[in-house]
Amino acid sequence: MTTPLLSVRNLEISFRSGGQDIPVVRDLSFDLSSGEILGIVGESGCGKSITALSLIGLVPSPPGRISGGQILFQGEDLVQASQARLNAVRGNDISMVFQEPMTSLNPVFSIGEQIAETARAHFGLTRAKAWARAVEMLALVGIPSPAKRAHDYPHQLSGGMRQRVMIAIALVCEPKILIADEPTTALDVTVQAQIFDLFQELQQKIDAAIILITHDIGVVAQMTDRVMVMYAGRKIEEGPVTEFLGDPRHPYTRGLISCIPRLSLPPQDHPAPLFEIPGVVPAPKDLGRPGCAFAPRCAGVQPRCHTETPALSTRAPGRAVACWLETEDAL
């Protein structure tokens, strides 16, 4: 069996608040192989983004910290790595595209300077060679007239162009893993489609593994090979994207898929209302309580769901689900 490029094992992340440690990610394990696109989905507050930040050593400390588990990159545990080593890995081997390009880019430096800075920091290039590399990266991500645009400042670019610049910065060192955290949040639908097409093209060119964090099931269907569903800081389901969409096993996963708007043909006078999952994600201070965190929102809740936390079952190859409603036959 091929060794995964990245293996996260029993990851625990907590934040200090009110004199106690509040868990926000608990007992999280997953693998990522070279060239694979893994989608991580779930509502806001489920732990997706903080998990991504933990992979590159950017959990804000204090108040946050990785309180347990391992993050094995090519066999090396990054949880135990020094800050100098994390600085070397971040951007060089593992890069991240953040949600808001306008707040992630420095407004007082040109976009060419910001890309070139990354190249100089990791490759030790001269200013001239780093600038040439920046222009090359702008061309790679589809920005027209890259030699001219390299002199522009972030405020001179559209939202879609700024996001392309963020992708260029993330890819300048040809990382083995690219993390995209809601990369099209502030963009209109047409530009979103262009950005995701770009991700697919680049993934084929550089053969990087991609972790795509999103709450958009349509994007998951289009982009990913495998999907991991998170809820209240835990992994509750995982599997190939075709099985995730065609045979979801967890009630929360089924709810997410049911929330996708569907057109009725021919048009109806009274179309069915949009489905919604009742209730809200529990507050972080409530995450350590026994039982299934989804129980208050689940239509099929059982008495044991309130008192016993379901273990993650992996009896089927490539599939995992944490739910008391699941039986051995169902898997």
% of residues, the chain, pLDDT over 70: 93
Q: Average pLDDT, stretch 114-131?
A: 90
Q: Is the pLDDT of residue 105 over 60?
A: yes
Model confidence at 328, pLDDT cuts 50, 70, 90, reads very low
Query: 261 pLDDT band (50/70/90 cuts)?
Result: low
Q: What is the mean pLDDT of the segment spanning 62-81?
A: 92
- pLDDT surpassing 50 at residue 183: yes
SS (H, E, C) the chain: CCCCCEEEEEEEEEEEECCEEEEEEEEEEEEECCCCEEEEECCCCCCHHHHHHHHCCCCCCCCEEEEEEEEEECCEEHHHCCHHHHHHHECCCEEEECCCHHHHCCCCCCHHHHHHHHHHHHHCCCHHHHHHHHHHHHHHCCCCCHHHHCCCCHHHCCHHHHHHHHHHHHHCCCCCEEEEECCCCCCCHHHHHHHHHHHHHHHHHHCCEEEEEECCHHHHHHHCCEEEEEECCEEEEEEEHHHHHHCCCCHHHHHHHHCCCCCCCCCCCCCCCCCCCCCCCCCHHHCCCCCCCCHHHCCCCCHHHHCCCCCCECCCCCCEECCCCCCCCCC
Average pLDDT rounded to a whole number, residues 141-157: 92
Is residue 237 over pLDDT 90?
yes
Above 60 in pLDDT, residue 231?
yes
What does the pLDDT average to over 226-249?
Answer: 92
Q: Would you state the pLDDT for residue 329?
A: 43
